[in-house]
């Protein structure tokens, strides 16, 4: 029992350290490129490489972990991520930073996979919901804290890169010191991408729309803030407020999605995001206070799309398929996330204004709302009675292993 409690403490500590470093580095790079005079399109291309790396990691990291074990693999991933963070401060080049972001994305996926598989191994079935919620909460907290670290040093110097590198290195300590056996990676049976789409098109499309929306937020909001003349302090609070608002609203929106038809909830959220984005595109230029409040409202809706879309898919598929289906939905999310910074930065460039970012969010979510309403009206989707819907679970896109902790999944015969 003591080893189990110690493992949870170590893994939760590693999670918040890792996400703090990741949150700091992501915003730092976007801001530095804006200050260095990179074009919006170039910045979008460079920043998209991280999400492409996450996608590549979903194919590569599993093999390395199986071959060398979790602790050695975690050491490799953390050391590579640390080196990449530090190398950013040595040479400013779009191609160089793009390559570093790709490698960082790949190794970050591996770090998440190791932590999540270890948590899954330590978690008893009746504690899944609590452990999963704590893990998701710490992930958001880490990202939010990372934004505030932007204010501790000169953004034009190398110190912030060093701090992010130190954080990536420090996440090694609690994991390496953990006692116990190596966890096993949960097995997921392959699930054809089109099978998921045919049975739950809204789950798939909602996940992809969430990837498009969320990725543009993380990659381009710092660029947007810099281009409209906000100070670094103001930028960090825009990011922190949005992330923490999203965390706080997860349970509220989750409660609503448990009480009403999720196709309606998803369309309402998407419509609200589209409408809000249109308002911000037209009137968000007035003051920092209005922008800060607006982004707080935006965060409450933005981070809810993915978990509601996943819950919708779980309504259709059985518990035995939950891990495989969630992995497919995460893949759809990752595809959207990989494209998003490129497309969104293109919209900003074509419109000739940083507020084109809100126009991009408006278009993506208006399309999702329209498709949802069309499919529902044409009876192209199954309507699941509210009393038969599965419970909503707050979620964040990391690796498919996290879905094995999802309390909605049913353990396979012979497994705890």
CATH homologous superfamily of 2-405 equals: MFS general substrate transporter like domains (1.20.1250.20)
Rounded to whole angstroms, the Cα distance separating 10 from 14 reads 6
21 neighbors 146 (Cβ within 8 angstroms): yes
Residue 7 has pLDDT above 70, yes or no: no
Q: Compute how many other C-beta atoms are within 10 angstroms of the C-beta atom of residue 95.
A: 9
Mean pLDDT of the chain, nearest integer? 82
If one compares 130 and 110, the residue with the highest pLDDT of the two is 110
pLDDT tens figures, 349-377: 999 999 999 999 999 999 999 998 887 77
pLDDT tens figures, 29-45: 999 999 998 999 999 99
pLDDT tens figures, 250-277: 777 777 767 777 788 889 999 999 999 9
- Measured in degrees and rounded to the nearest 5, phi and psi for residue 181 equal -75, 160
258 neighbors 389 (Cβ within 8 angstroms): yes
If one compares 81 and 264, the residue with the highest pLDDT of the two is 81
pLDDT tens figures, 178-193: 665 556 655 555 556 6
Mean local confidence (pLDDT), 88-93: 91
125 pLDDT tier (thresholds 50, 70, 90): low
Residue 331 has pLDDT above 70, yes or no: yes
**What does the pLDDT read at residue 192?**
67
Give the relative orientation of helices 232-259 and 128-148 as an angle to the nearest 10 degrees.
160
223 neighbors 31 (Cβ within 8 angstroms): yes
Give the relative orientation of helices 356-377 and 322-351 as an angle to the nearest 10 degrees.
130
> What residue ranges do the domains of the chain occupy?
2-405
Full-prediction pTM beyond 0.75? yes
**What does the pLDDT read at residue 128?**
61
Mean local confidence (pLDDT), 309-328: 70
């Amino acid at each position: 029992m003591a080893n189990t409690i110690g493992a949870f403490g170590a893994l939760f500590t590693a999670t918040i350290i890792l996400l703090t470093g990741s949150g700091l580095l992501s915003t730092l790079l976007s801001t530095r490129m804006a200050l260095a005079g990179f074009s919006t399109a170039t910045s979008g291309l460079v920043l998209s490489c991280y999400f492409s790396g996450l996608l590549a990691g979903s194919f590569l990291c599993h093999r390395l972990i199986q071959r060398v074990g979790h602790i050695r693999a975690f050491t490799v991933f953390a050391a590579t991520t640390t080196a990449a963070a530090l190398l950013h401060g040595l040479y400013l080049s779009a191609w160089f930073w793009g390559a570093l972001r790709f490698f960082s994305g790949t190794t970050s996926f591996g770090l998440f996979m190791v932590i999540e598989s270890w948590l899954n191994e330590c978690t008893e079935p009746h504690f899944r919901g609590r452990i999963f919620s704590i893990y998701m909460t710490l992930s958001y907290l880490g990202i939010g804290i990372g934004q505030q670290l932007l204010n501790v040093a000169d953004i034009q110097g190398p110190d912030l890169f060093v701090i992010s590198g130190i954080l990536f290195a420090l996440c090694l300590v609690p994991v390496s010191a953990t006692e116990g056996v190596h966890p096993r990676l949960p097995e997921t049976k392959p699930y054809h991408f089109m099978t998921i789409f045919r049975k739950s098109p809204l789950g798939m499309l909602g996940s992809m729309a969430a990837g498009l929306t969320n990725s543009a937020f993380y990659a381009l909001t710092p660029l947007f803030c810099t281009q409209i003349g906000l100070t670094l302090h103001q930028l960090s609070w825009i990011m922190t407020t949005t992330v923490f608002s999203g965390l706080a609203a997860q349970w509220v929106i989750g409660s609503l999605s448990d009480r009403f038809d999720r196709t309606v909830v998803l369309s309402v959220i998407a419509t609200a995001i589209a409408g809000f984005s249109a308002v911000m595109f037209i009137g968000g230029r007035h003051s920092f206070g209005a922008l800060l409040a607006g982004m707080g409202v935006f965060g409450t809706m933005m981070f809810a799309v993915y978990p509601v879309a996943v819950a919708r898919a779980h309504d259709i598929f059985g518990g035995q398929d939950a891990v495989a289906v969630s992995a497919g939905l995460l893949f759809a999310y990752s595809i959207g996330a990989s494209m998003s910074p490129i497309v969104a930065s293109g919209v900003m460039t074509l419109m000739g204004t940083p507020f084109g970012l809100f126009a991009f969010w408006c278009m993506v979510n208006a399309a999702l709302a329209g498709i949802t309403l069309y499919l529902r009206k044409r009876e192209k989707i199954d309507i699941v009675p509210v009393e038969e819907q599965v419970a909503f679970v707050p979620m964040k896109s990391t690796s498919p292993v996290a879905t094995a902790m999802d309390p909605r999944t049913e353990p396979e015969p012979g497994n705890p």
